[in-house]
Amino acid sequence: MSTILLAIAISLVGGIIFSIIGVIPGTDETATMAPLTLVLVLIGVPPTVVFAWFIAILIAMQITHTVPTAMAALPGSTMAVPMVANSNIAKRLGIPHIAMRKMAAGSLIGSIIAFPIAIIVAGALAPLGKVVAAYSGLIFTLGAIIIAYVSKAKWGAIISLLPFAFLIQGLQRISVETTGKTLFISIFMGITIGPMIAELFNVMIPMRRELQKRDKPKVIWLAPESKNVKGSIFPNPFSFFGKSQVGYIAGASAVSACTFTFSPVGMTVLMGELIAARKKELYDRITATLGVQDAVSNATYLGELLIPMVAFGLPLSPVALGPASPLFNQINLHDYLSISQYFIYGIIGMVGGCFFAYPLSIKKARSWTEAMFRYVSHEALIGAFMGLICMLAFYEAGIFGIFVAVFVGIFGGILNNLFGIHTGVQFMGYYASGYIVTQVIALCKFIN
């Protein structure tokens, strides 16, 4: 019982923290969720409680990222990027508050539908666990190739897997010689902060520094507050949609919860386009599409977390490779939780995640968005997380760990910012690096 009470408390705290983080535009899920989760794992929080925490922060951030996305057309997280275009149209129509509430409600509905479906699908796939584990190197490599090809860089991303794999394995070899062990936290965190490190590195390059200069602060306009807010403090999310829209959201969420190997952003775009094509009237199309997109973003996240975790215990999805990586590497929750515990602590996490985030999105959208823009420095937030990442790297391997995180960050950040080889490709490349290097060496020996 004490563990359950701790899970409830941790879930509520996580829900509050990431409700606030979600309101801040431009935040990255991996850069915020992974480090704090890793801290909980390292200080010895029980696995069931860590699972409840992660579900809570996932739900909270996916709900409140709707606030800046709808009100200012600035993505509250990377998962909200596909919703910016429709949010812009909603602003021009004068309905950003309606769009935002439909997005928040859709996100909650997507969670409710996807959670049990993902666990059921995971249970069905569990017998394949040993087969998947035996060929994990090949699976990671094939996954890396697929994710690389569907990125903006296409063949360039695929080719980049080779030097990136050699970089990772070379650093691992140097680490063994220096510290007597291989590294995970330092490399993982280096990939996580790569885009930010590369932006800072640009300041040292005159040409890139000139491109980043600004003559005046950016001006952002917020839509006016709505005088009437529908429902109670915690209104029924289904009440924001008609029957047909609920059907679309439910169907899209159910499908997305099963597609654990695909990009979450890609699934959000795909499902949104499918629904938009079926709607002719502009208002109906925009509001239905936004509701579906936010439902899919949450459903995909849950599916990509739960199916690899419950069925295989291997990080075989972009979510498992990124934000949820500490749950597979520092402590593999697959070995600690039963199916009943997944349900019990997952429900605790869902309640903790939406307890604060959902009412905030419904009632306080504009006032909180304005407060974030006025009083929270985005640079300070980035600096705080980079400091946390340096602390974690130092914990693993001292000063050497920080150097590794920075080196990987610069290399990976340049790949991401200049060539469109995003961190999802890099995370997959990290897990496939051992297999790739081994096969290249074997091929070279065979040719010689």
CA angle (349 as vertex; 356, 39 as ends), nearest 5: 95
For 447, residues 6+ apart whose C-beta sits below 8 A from its C-beta are none
Tell me the C-alpha distance between 445 and 448, whole Å: 5
225: which DSSP letter? P
d(CA 18, CA 65) in angstroms, rounded, equals 10
Contact 298, 83 (CB under 8 A): no
Q: What is the model's pTM?
A: 0.79
Which of the two residues, 415 and 383, has the higher pLDDT score? 415
Q: How far is CA 303 from CA 132, 358, 421, in A?
A: 18, 21, 24
| Model confidence band, residue 436 (pLDDT cutoffs 50, 70, 90) | very high
pLDDT for the residue 264: 76
Residue pLDDT, tens place only, 398-430: 999 999 999 999 999 899 888 888 777 887 788
Render pLDDT for 223-265 as a digit per residue (tens, 0 to 9). 666 555 555 677 888 888 888 888 989 999 999 888 776 667 7
Closest C-alpha among 127, 47, 13 to residue 346? 47
Question: 62: burial class by Cβ within 10 Å (0-12, 13-18, 19+)?
Answer: buried
Residue 70: DSSP 8-state:
H
Bridge partners (DSSP) of residue 165 are: none
Strand partners, 215: none
SS3 27: strand
Backbone angles phi, psi at 81, to 5 degrees: -55, -45
Paired tokens of 153: 């860089």
Query: What does the pLDDT read at residue 71?
Result: 76
What type of residue is 27?
Answer: T
What is the rounded average pLDDT for all residues in the chain?
84
pLDDT at 237: 87
DSSP class per residue in 249-298: HHHHHHHHTT-TTS-HHHHHHHHHHHHHTT--SHHHHHHHHHHHHHHHHH
The pLDDT-based confidence of 9 (bands split at 50, 70, 90) is very high
- Which residue in the block uniquely carries the two structure tokens 């304005």? 370
- 365 pLDDT band, cuts 50/70/90, is low
